[in-house]
């Protein structure tokens, strides 16, 4: 990991970015420090259909995991969840803690549940359309009891990331986008499928990978997650195997050429503008 961490610092220098990426991994060891949701009910479709999930309680205990990541970013610590500690049933599903998805999600993402106060988010026109999206974005099962996301620079040789995620504004995103295409020799290297904040960080990169495809995923377009991102900020998540190819090819890419230097100056300007905004 030492080489990857060193190369990442070079990538930050080339791209003009000032925040280390985070990375996702699974472990059976409970993290000693960091931010996690409070314990909740065990979720599964079987328990749901047996009427064993108290949705009123689930709603009262809801917390967005992107908020935990926001705290982890601010304090350079870890954010983590488990099958018992998840806050949001969506992140539990998208991190592979249970499968298949809950029936309720199809209604919650679309028209709501008839006869209840759950109106639905109207992200899809029908429960059937939401079901199709959930089924397609089902990730592989979790490889450990805990799903942990922490700064890449804090990884040891015993901890191999599955996904690397950058939190970036458009100029830096531009550079990462270009580098991803260059590294794997494909103009289809970057995708932006519909998904929640956690889905595009954790689920979609692994879904593409298990299909045998190398894809970086743009995210941060979830309306519920936007309040936990900086102004104009998006996420850029990359399977670790693909990320290493990006690191190994960055010096031969356009990031090390004069054309990029013009954009890099815009990245610095963007950072300066938002630093002043955040001081207000």
pLDDT band for position 8 (cuts 50, 70, 90): very high
The mean-pLDDT minimum among 23-27, 143-147, 245-249, 266-270 falls in 266-270
Task: Judge whether 192 and 217 are in contact, CB under 8 Å.
Answer: yes
> 272 or 241: whose pLDDT is higher?
241
Domain-located, residue 13: yes
How far is Cα 250 from Cα 113, in angstroms, rounded to an integer?
Answer: 49
Let me know if residue 18 belongs to a domain.
yes
pLDDT digits 0-9 by tens, 34-66: 999 999 999 999 999 999 999 889 888 999 999
pLDDT reported for residue 280: 47
Q: What b/e readout covers 242-267, taking b as 16+ CB neighbours within 10 angstroms?
A: bbbbbbebbeebbbeeeebeebbeeb
Q: Which two structure tokens, joined as six digits, stand for 224? A: 């519920």
Provide the pairing of β-strand 216-219 with 234-239: antiparallel
DSSP-derived pairing of the beta strands 216-219 and 190-191: parallel
249-257: average pLDDT:
97
Residue 146 lies in a domain: no
pLDDT tens, 110-149? 998 776 666 789 999 999 999 999 999 999 999 999 999 9
Least confident of 31-35, 59-63, 178-182: 59-63
Would you state the pLDDT for residue 266? Answer: 84
d(CA 11, CA 21): 11
Mapped onto helix, strand or coil, the DSSP state of residue 94 is helix
Please tell me the distance from the alpha carbon of residue 105 to that of residue 280, in angstroms, as a whole number.
Answer: 39
Classify 188 as helix, strand or coil. coil
Give me the pLDDT at residue 73, please: 97
> Which pLDDT belongs to residue 269?
81
Helix (H) or strand (E) holding 56: helix 55-60
For 191, the enclosing helix (H) or strand (E) is: strand 190-191
pLDDT reported for residue 117: 65
Which residue(s) pair with 118 in the sheet?
Answer: none
Q: How far apart, in whole angstroms, are the C-alpha atoms of residue 83 and residue 52?
A: 16
Q: What angle do CA 207, 76, 279 make, to 5 degrees?
A: 110
pLDDT digits (tens, 9 = 90+) for 67-98: 999 999 999 999 999 999 999 999 999 999 99
Q: Tell me how far CA of residue 114 lies from CA of 107, 110, 119, 267, in angstroms.
A: 9, 12, 8, 47
Q: Is 119 part of a structural domain of the chain?
A: no
Do residues 234 and 169 lie in contact, with contact meaning Cβ atoms separated by under 8 Å? yes
**pLDDT digit string (tens) for 198-252?**
999 999 999 999 999 999 999 999 999 999 999 899 999 999 999 999 999 999 9
Cis amide leading into 100 (omega within 30) = yes
Tell me whether residue 198 is in a domain: yes
pLDDT at 116: 65
- Please count the structural domains in the chain: 1
Model confidence at 4: pLDDT above 90:
yes
Crossing angle for the helix pair 240-249 and 170-184, to the nearest 10 degrees? 90
Q: Which residues contact 140 (CB under 8 A, 6 or more apart)?
A: 96, 206, 207, 210
How many C-beta atoms lie closer than 10 Å to residue 241's C-beta?
A: 12
Domain holding 203, by residue range, is 2-22+159-279
Does residue 279 register a pLDDT over 70?
no
């Amino acid at each position: 990991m030492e080489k990857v961490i060193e190369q990442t610092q070079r990538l930050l220098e080339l791209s003009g970015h000032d925040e280390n990426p985070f990375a996702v991994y699974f472990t059976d060891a409970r993290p000693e420090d960091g931010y996690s949701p409070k314990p909740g009910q065990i979720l599964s479709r079987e328990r749901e259909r047996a009427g064993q999930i108290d949705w009123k309680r689930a709603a009262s205990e809801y917390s967005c995991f992107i908020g935990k990541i926001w705290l982890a970013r601010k304090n350079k610590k870890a954010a983590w969840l488990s099958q018992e500690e998840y806050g949001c049933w969506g992140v539990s599903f998208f991190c592979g803690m249970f499968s298949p998805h809950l029936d309720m999600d199809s209604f919650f993402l679309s028209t709501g549940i008839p006869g209840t106060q759950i109106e639905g988010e109207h992200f899809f026109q029908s429960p059937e359309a939401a079901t199709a999206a959930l089924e397609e974005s089902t990730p592989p099962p979790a490889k450990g009891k805990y799903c942990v996301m922490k700064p890449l620079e804090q990884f040891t040789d015993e901890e191999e990331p599955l996904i690397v995620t950058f939190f970036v504004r458009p100029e830096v995103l531009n550079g990462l986008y270009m580098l991803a295409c260059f590294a794997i020799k494909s103009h289809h290297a970057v995708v932006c499928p519909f998904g929640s904040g956690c889905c595009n960080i954790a689920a979609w990169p692994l879904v593409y990978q298990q299909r045998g495809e190398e894809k970086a995923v743009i995210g941060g377009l979830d309306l519920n997650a936007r309040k936990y991102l900086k102004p104009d900020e998006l996420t850029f998540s990359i399977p670790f195997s693909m990320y290493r190819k990006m690191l190994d090819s960055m010096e031969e890419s356009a990031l090390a050429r004069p054309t990029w230097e013009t954009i890099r100056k815009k990245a610095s300007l963007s950072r300066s503008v938002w630093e002043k905004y955040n001081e207000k």
